[in-house]
Structure 1
Amino acid sequence: MSISMPLFDHQRNYKIKPNLQTLDKASAMAGHQHRLQKKNDTGAFFFFMATLVMWAVSVFFEILFNNRTELFPLLTGFCFYQLANWICRNFISRDPLLVNTCVSLLHSALTSASVVFILLNRLISNGWDELFEHSQLVKATWPWAYSALCISCGYFAYDQLDMLLYGLYSGWIPSILLHHFILLGCFTLALYRNVTINYLILTLICELHSIFLHVRKVRRMAGFRDSSSKFVKMEWFLNMVTFFLARLLSHLLITIKLVKDAAKFEKGVELPLALLGMAGMNLLNVFLGVDILKAFRRERNRNNRHES
C-alpha cells in the first residue's frame, strides 16, 4: 500500500499531490530492472532458458507431428496460469515477485485439491489393496491423473519462464530453477511414455506444504510480520507439519518404494530416471528444510528483540 506524502512548492505555497499509481509503477519497474540485472551475473539464465525452449519444441513436436492430443491439457495449464499472472499483474500488483507468488499459491491449492480428489476416488473404487501395488503405480493410470499431471507440468513451464523473464532467482545454480528443470524432465518423459503417472501424482502431495510457503511469502510482502500473533503461529505450525508429512516423509517413502521394487521394473530408463529425480527432490527438500528453520529462527529472534 502506497503512503501519500505532501510535496510543497515553496514559490506557490500549495500542496502538490503525487500520482501514487505512477510512483507504484516506477517502484515496481525499478525492482524489476534490478532483478533483470541478475541475468548478466551468471550463465543460469541462458542455460535454463535454452532448456525451456528445447522442452517447448519437444512438446509441440509431439502434439503436431505425433498427434499426441492427450497432451493438450499441458498447454491448457500453461495458458491458464499465464492468464492468472496477467489478472494479478493488472488488478492486484505489478510487483513481479508478488504476482509470481500469488499464481504459485493458486497452483498449490488447485493441485493439492486435485491430488486428494484422485486418491480419494481411487480409494472409494478399489480400496487400499491395489493403491500402492507396483503395476498400478508404474503401468496403470488413475482417472484424471494424466490430465492433472499435464496441467501441473504446464504450470512448471510457465513458472520457469516467469522467473527467468523477471529475474526471480539468485545464485550460480538457482535451486528453484533446478527444481523446475528436474520436474519438467521427469514429468514430460513420463507423459510421453505414459508410465509412472501415478507415482508422480503421489509426489505432488507436497503441494500441500507449498500452500503455506506461499501464504507466508504473501503475508510478509503485505507487511504482516508479527510472529507473536495466533495466525502466524498457526501458519508456522501447519508449515512445519506439512513439510514433514507431505514433502519430506512422502518423498522419502516414495524413494524407498522405488528401491524396494527395483527388480520389478523392466529394463529401460524408467527406474534410473525415477531414482535420479527422487534423489534430486530429496536433496532439495533437505536444503528447503534448512531454509525453513533459519526463517523460523529469524522471525522468533526478531520478535524476542521487539518484546525486550
Structure 2
Amino acid sequence: MGRTAGQNEDKVGAFFVATLVLWFVSVCFEILFNKRSELLTVVAGCFFFQTANWVIRFFASPDPLFVNTSVSLLHSTITSSSVVFILVNQWLRSGPSGMFEHSQLFGGTWPWAYAALCFSCGYFAYDQWDMLQYRLYSGFIPAILVHHLILLICFTLALYRNVTINYLILTLVCELHSIFLHVRKVRRMAGFCDATSTLVRIEWVLNWVTFFVARFASHILITVKLIWDASKFKKGVELPLALFGMAGMNLLNVFLGFDLFNAFRREKNSQHTNCHRE
C-alpha cells in the first residue's frame, strides 16, 4: 500500500516537474528569441527567492518546511506592499472611477504593475520547484501544486500578451492575508503555541479580517467584475482563462476557509496547544 502511494507521488511529482520545465523553456524562448527583456524580472524573481532560501537554510534552520514557509512570508510581505503601493499611487493619479474601468483593467498597465507581476511569477515558479524538490505536498492531486500551476499559466500568458495585468495585480491583494497565514505557521514551528497569548489572539483577528476582506471578498468582486464586463472582452482566450482562473481561486479560498476555521477551533479549544505541523 505504501509502495503504491509512493509510486503515485512520483508520477504526480514528475508531471508537475515536466510542466515547470516547459514553463521555463517558454520564458527563455520569449526572452532570447522574441527579445522580451522585460521578462528578465521573472528570472530575477526566481533567483531572488532561491537566494533567500539558501540564506535562511544556512543562518536559521535547514528544515525544508521552515525554509519554504519563511520565504513564502518574505514574498507575501514584498508583494502585498508592492500591490498596496501600486493601487494607492494609481488611486491618487486617476481616482477610483478611472482605475477600475474595463479598458484600464484589461488593456492598461499601471506604473510598476508589470514588473511586480513578473517578480511574483518568478516566486511561484521557485516555490513550485522547492515543494517538488523536498516533497512538501501530499495527495494524488496536491492542491498547492495545482494552485501554483494555474497561477503560472494565467500570469505568464498575461505577461506574454500584455493584457489583464491590472486584473492580476488586484488578485494579489490576497497576499495581505497570506502574511498572517505564514506568520502563524512560522510561529508554531518556532514553538510558540500559547493560544491564550494576546499576540496570538491579535494574529487570529488579523488572519480572519484579511481572509474575508483581502482574499475572499476581493476575489469574489473580481469575478463579478469579469462577468459584468464580459461583453466588453474581444473574442479570444482572455475571458475564459480569467474566469477559469478565478473559479479555481474561489474554490481554493472556500477550502482554505474551512481549514482556517478548523485550525482556529483547535487552538481555541485548548489553553496551551501542542505545536505540530498542519
TM bin (shorter chain): over 0.9
Corresponding residue for 1:61? 29
2-side partners of 1:234 and 1:219: how far apart? 13
Report how far residue 278 of structure 1 moved: 0.2
Q: Which residue of 1 aligns with 2:260?
A: 292
Q: CA deviation at 1:303?
A: 2.2
The code of the aligned residue for 1:196 comes to T
* Structure 1, unaligned runs of 5 or more: 1-36
Distance 1:39 1:151, change over 3 A: farther
Alignment map for 1:75-94 (pairs within 5 Å): 75-94=43-62
| Residues 164-216 of structure 1: per-residue CA shift (max 9 Å, x gap) | 00010111111111110110000000000000000000000000000000000
8 Å CA contact 1:38, 1:167 repeated in 2 = no
Please say if 1:163 is aligned against 2:131: yes
Secondary structure at the aligned position of 2:260 is classed as helix
Code of the residue aligned with 2:35 in structure 1: it is: N
Q: CA deviation at 1:301?
A: 1.6
The alignment yields a C-alpha RMSD, in angstroms, of 1.4
Check 1:194–1:135 CA distance in 2 against 1; reply closer, same or farther (3 A cut).
Answer: same
The equivalent of 1:95 in structure 2 is 63
Change (3 A) 1:256 1:121: same
- 2:228 equivalent among 223, 240, 260: 260
Cα distance in 2 for residues equivalent to 1:237 and 1:282: 22
Task: Give the deviation of 1:44 after TM superposition.
Answer: 1.6
Matched, 1:187 2:155: yes
Q: How does 1:134-213 map to 2 (within 5 A)?
A: 134-213=102-181
Structure 2 stretches lacking a partner, 5+ long: none
C-alpha deviation, 1:302, in angstroms: 2.3
Structure scoring higher RCO (CA < 8 A, sep ≥ 6) equals: 2
Deviation at 1:131, TM superposition (A): 1.2
SS in 2 for 1:279: helix
Deviation at 1:47, TM superposition (A): 1.1
- Residue equivalent to 2:194: 226
Deviation at 1:124, TM superposition (A): 1.1
Report what 1:52 is aligned to.
Answer: 20
Normalising by structure 1, report the TM-score: 0.86
Deviations 1:251-292 (A, max 9, x none): 000000000000000000000000000000000000000000
Change (3 A) 1:185 1:39: farther
CA displacement 1:77-99 (0-9 Å, x = unmatched) = 01000000000011110000000
TM-aligned CA deviation for residue 39 of structure 1: 6.0
Distance (Å, rounded) in 2 between the aligned partners of 1:62 and 1:38: 38
Query: What is aligned with 1:18?
Result: none
Is the CA contact 2:196–2:272 (under 8 Å) kept in the aligned structure 1?
Answer: no
Deviation at 1:38, TM superposition (A): 7.5
Could you tell me whether the CA contact under 8 Å between 1:139 and 1:196 is conserved in 2?
A: yes
Query: Aligned to 1:239, what secondary structure does the other structure show?
Result: helix
Map of 1:283 onto structure 2: 251
Richer in helix (by share) = 2
Alpha-carbon distance in 2 for matches of 1:208, 1:266: 32
Contact 1:63–1:69 under 8 Å retained in 2:
yes
CA distance in 2, matches of 1:264, 1:220: 47
Q: Give the TM-score taking structure 2 as reference length.
A: 0.95
